[in-house]
C-alpha cells in the first residue's frame, strides 16, 4: 500500500514538472506569434491551453483521491495540498500565455509591437522562460537553495515591466492609445507569469521545510490582489 502511495506522489510531482514544461512551451510559441504575426501559431496556443487545463484537473483529482484513500499526515499531507496549489499557479501561467496569443490574434495581420518595445518584450520572454524552466527543476529536485536565485531573475522581469511603462510615458512614444493598451496588458501578462513561477518555487520551500517565508507571503498577496484577467475586448469577433 505504501509503495503504491509513494508512486502516486511521484506521478503527481511528474505532472507538476510537465505543467511547467507545457506552460513554458505555450509562452514561447505565443511570443513567437506576437513577434511574427503568425495567426496559425497563435490559434494553436489558444487551443492547446485545454490540454494544460486537463493535466491540472487530472492532477487535482489524483491528489484529492489520495487524500481520501490514504488519509496522509505530516510531509505527505503537505505535499498533496501544496501540489494542488502549485498546479493552480502553473495552469494560470498557461492562461497568461493564451492571453498573449489572443492579443496577437486580435491584431492580425498587423504586428502588435513597434520597434521601440520589441527588444524589451523579447527579453521579457527570455526571462519568463528561464523562470518557468527553473521552477520546474526546483519542483523535480526539491532544490530550496535555488529559490533565492530565482527571485533575482524575477527582479529583472520587474525591471523590464517598469521599462515598458517608461517607454509608454516618454515623449518619444508616438504609436497611439491602442498600441499603448496592448503593451500595458502584455507587459502585465509576462510579469504575472514570472510571479507565478516564483510562487511555485516558494511552495517547494514550504513543502520541504514546513515554513513560509515573508517573500512568499508578499508574492501571494500581489497575485491575489492584482491578478489580471483576460479583458472582454480581447476576443476575435465572430464572423
Span 130-152, pLDDT tens digits:
999 999 999 999 999 999 999 99
Report the Cα 186 to chain-centroid distance in Å. 13
| Res. 54 pLDDT band, cuts 50 70 90 | very high
Q: At what angle do helices 2-36 and 118-141 cross, to 10 degrees?
A: 170
Give the model's pLDDT for residue 233.
47
Range 158-171 burial, b when 16+ CB lie within 10 A, else e: eebbebbeebbeee
Cα separation, 144 vs 121, in Å, equals 29
| Res. 72 pLDDT band, cuts 50 70 90 | confident
* Domains defined for the chain, CATH in brackets: 2-226 (1.20.58.220)
Give the model's pLDDT for residue 232.
43
C-alpha closest to that of 93 among 54, 57, 126, 52: 52
| Res. 202 pLDDT band, cuts 50 70 90 | very high
Instruction: Quickly tell me which residue has 510579469 as its cell.
Output: 191
Give the model's pLDDT for residue 210.
82
As a whole number, the mean pLDDT across the chain is: 89
Cell of 91: 495552469
Cα separation, 226 vs 224, in Å, equals 6
| Interval 9-30: pLDDT, tens | 999 999 999 999 999 999 999 9
Which pTM was predicted?
0.88
Q: At what angle do helices 2-36 and 74-107 cross, to 10 degrees?
A: 20
Nearby residues of 176 by Cβ (< 8 Å), 6 or more positions away? none
| Res. 235 pLDDT band, cuts 50 70 90 | very low
The answer on pLDDT for 42 being more than 50 is yes
CA distances from 162 to 53, 105, 112, 191 (A): 31, 25, 19, 10
Amino acid at each position: 500500500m505504501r509503495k503504491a502511495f509513494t508512486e502516486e506522489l511521484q506521478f503527481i510531482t511528474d505532472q507538476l514538472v510537465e505543467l511547467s514544461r507545457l506552460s513554458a512551451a505555450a509562452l514561447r510559441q505565443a511570443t513567437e506569434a506576437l513577434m511574427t504575426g503568425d495567426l496559425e501559431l497563435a490559434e494553436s496556443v489558444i487551443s492547446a491551453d485545454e490540454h494544460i487545463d486537463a493535466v491540472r484537473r487530472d492532477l487535482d483529482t489524483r491528489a484529492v483521491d489520495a487524500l481520501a484513500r490514504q488519509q496522509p499526515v505530516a510531509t505527505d499531507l503537505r505535499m498533496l495540498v501544496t501540489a494542488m496549489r502549485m498546479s493552480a499557479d502553473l495552469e494560470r501561467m498557461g492562461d497568461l500565455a493564451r492571453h498573449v496569443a489572443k492579443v496577437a490574434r486580435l491584431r492580425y495581420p498587423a504586428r502588435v509591437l513597434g520597434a521601440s518595445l520589441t527588444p524589451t518584450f523579447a527579453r521579457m520572454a527570455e526571462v519568463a522562460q528561464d523562470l518557468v524552466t527553473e521552477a520546474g527543476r526546483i519542483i523535480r529536485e526539491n532544490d530550496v537553495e535555488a529559490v533565492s536565485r530565482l527571485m533575482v531573475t524575477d527582479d529583472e522581469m520587474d525591471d523590464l515591466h517598469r521599462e515598458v511603462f517608461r517607454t509608454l510615458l516618454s515623449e518619444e512614444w508616438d504609436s497611439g492609445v491602442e498600441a499603448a493598451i496592448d503593451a500595458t496588458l502584455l507587459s502585465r501578462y509576462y510579469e504575472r507569469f514570472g510571479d507565478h513561477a516564483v510562487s511555485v518555487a516558494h511552495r517547494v520551500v514550504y513543502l520541504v521545510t514546513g515554513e513560509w517565508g515573508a517573500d512568499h507571503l508578499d508574492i501571494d498577496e500581489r497575485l491575489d490582489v492584482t491578478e489580471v484577467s483576460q479583458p472582454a475586448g480581447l476576443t476575435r469577433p465572430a464572423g
